[in-house]
Amino acid sequence: MLFNSIDFIFIYLPIALCGFWLASIFQNRSIVIGWLVLISLIFYSIWSYQFLLLLLFSVAINWAIGIALSHQRRNLPDGAKMNAAVKLLLILGIIFDLSFLGYFKYVNFFIDTVNTFGFRLELLDGLVLPLGISFYTFEQMSYLVGIAKGEVKSYSLPRFLLFVTFFPHLIAGPILNANELNYQLQKFNYRLDYRNLAVGFTIFAFGLFKKTAIADSVAVFATPIFIAAERGESISFLLAWQAAIAYTLQLYFDFSGYSDMAIGLSNMFNIKLPMNFFSPYQAVGIGDFWRRWHISLGRFLRDYLYIPLGGSRNGELRTYINLSLTMLLGGLWHGASWTFIVWGGLHGIYLCIDRGWQKFLKHRGLVFESGYHYWLARMLTFLAVIVSWVIFRAETLNGASHMLMGLFGGNGLMLPEMFADRFSMLRGIGIEFGTLNYHSGIQGSLLLLLILSVALFLPNLYQFTMREPAALDIYKNLNGQQPAWYAWQPTFGYALLTFGIFVISLGFCNQASEFLYFQF
């Protein structure tokens, strides 16, 4: 069941909300948590009851290890480091989680890779990737690490089930830390909160619009060209850039739209999830981009991979190695494919260059503060991101190479035949005219330009709702900012705007659609 399906919006969600409000009448935390767990398990089981059994198995093992870790931590004074027993339990928990994830996500990739060296190993038939496994595995690992360090108290089984399975973030995040939920449950608001409902519905409606009206609409300008590249067709410069920009917009509005819907839904139940996007295409450097893109994943990679590897504590060379390893593994986390590994490695190189450039500027005492330098930095960052998304989107490295060849002009520049008479002088510099089978046309190009302008220049949804903060601002993006004049308020005018956005979005809900990050 997708968030943008009619069944979810008009059947599942009303039942879930009504049950939540009825349970809240008793002012009993256990009853409310029980209801939220029940509807979350039902939500996941609609996809597959076999996947639900796997999820519950993973939850049971991690909860049991968490209890054992908590028991061992009680024998240690506050602030003490882990002893041998705690370390052993934590290692066993991490081995289980990585093995669980690795079996379903990477075993066939490993077999296929080994077979390229002449082996004849059989792939495992019928192995299907459980939905959300990458996200709920990471959350449970962070829970175990938090207990082992003495930073998190172990949950009761119902609370742990809620932490892992809460349906708004179960399938594709945002990735929630254990303490972020525990803090809210300690001061849980059981009453029907009309302001949370209003701002939650507003964010949900705008997220729905981003997903259905924008992301799904631009997909048609990217998908056929990437498919053609996989077939080995020569992709011209214009078509390559059309597909690259269209996918860049599709991925952002698809995943940020999902995150917005998840955060909005969570607010309706008086729970806040972490902010996951903050205008990433307005970044002024790759480091800035990763502070804005998939923020909850970036936090996890920083806290549980980059810092444990040594972070920036052991010299420049080790820092660059740690950055590269973190991004390589982050790329592999996205999927069992060499394209994801290359994409992660490319962003590792980007981050090393970015860090080296910042150190060079600091060493030389150079400060670039003019508008010219700002916009140049934004443009270069965005172009670098577009190139990386081509590799991310391609199904194979061969398909990626065909797209990149077109992107950098290796297949020549062809313009639509309709411009041949007016711009015939361009033939003298090697530009050709002909039929572009996958070209978006004038209207499609204007649509892409309009959507691109939204991503590059307009404020994001969290700036729009600053008066009623609806997400955990885990990177303090809004810290010190004042709400703009246009910031959302619970007034009739904004209610009318939200309702209009919601109705328009419903008109797109009948088309075939799936969230891109479900496959990760």
What single-letter amino acid sits at 67?
I
Whole-number pLDDT of residue 475: 78
Q: Please give the mean pLDDT across all residues of the chain.
A: 90
Q: How far apart are CA 135 and CA 50, in angstroms?
A: 18
Residues 310, 318: contact at Cβ < 8 Å? yes
Rounded percentage of the chain residues whose pLDDT exceeds 70: 98
Angle at 58 between CA 54 and CA 63, to 5 degrees: 145
- Rounded-to-integer distance, Cα 396 and Cα 463, Å: 38
- Going by pLDDT thresholds of 50, 70 and 90, the confidence category of residue 186 is confident
Average pLDDT over residues 99-120: 89
Residue percentage of the chain with pLDDT more than 90: 65
Instruction: Please give the pLDDT value at position 342.
Output: 97
Cα–Cα distance measured from residue 291 to residue 287, given in angstroms and rounded to the nearest whole number: 6
3-state SS, residue 308: coil
Per-residue pLDDT, 513? 65
Cis peptide upstream of residue 459 (ω within 30 degrees of 0):
no
- 273: pLDDT confidence band, cut at 50, 70 and 90? very high
* pLDDT digit string, tens, across residues 373-407: 899 999 999 999 999 999 999 999 999 999 999 99
Quickly state the pLDDT bin for 89 (edges 50, 70, 90). Answer: very high
What is the pLDDT, as a whole number, of residue 323? 95
Mean pLDDT, rounded, for 67-81: 85
pLDDT of the residue at 48: 83
pLDDT at 317: 92
Residue 365 is predicted with a pLDDT of 81
Please list, in sequence order, all residues whose beta carbon lies within 8 angstroms of the beta carbon of residue 196, skipping any fewer than 6 positions away.
189, 267, 268, 270, 470
Res. 277 pLDDT band, cuts 50 70 90: very high
SS3 416: strand
Q: How confident is the model at residue 455 (pLDDT cuts 50, 70, 90)?
A: very high
Indicate if 402 belongs to the active site.
no
Beta partners for residue 432, in sequence order: 414
Q: Is the pTM of this model over 0.75?
A: yes
Q: What is the pLDDT of residue 354?
A: 94
- What pLDDT is stored for residue 90 in this prediction? 95
| Torsion, CA 193, CA 38, CA 183, CA 8, rounded to 10 | -50
Q: What is the pLDDT of residue 512?
A: 61
pLDDT of residue 514: 65
Identify the active-site residue in 71, 169, 294, 334: 334
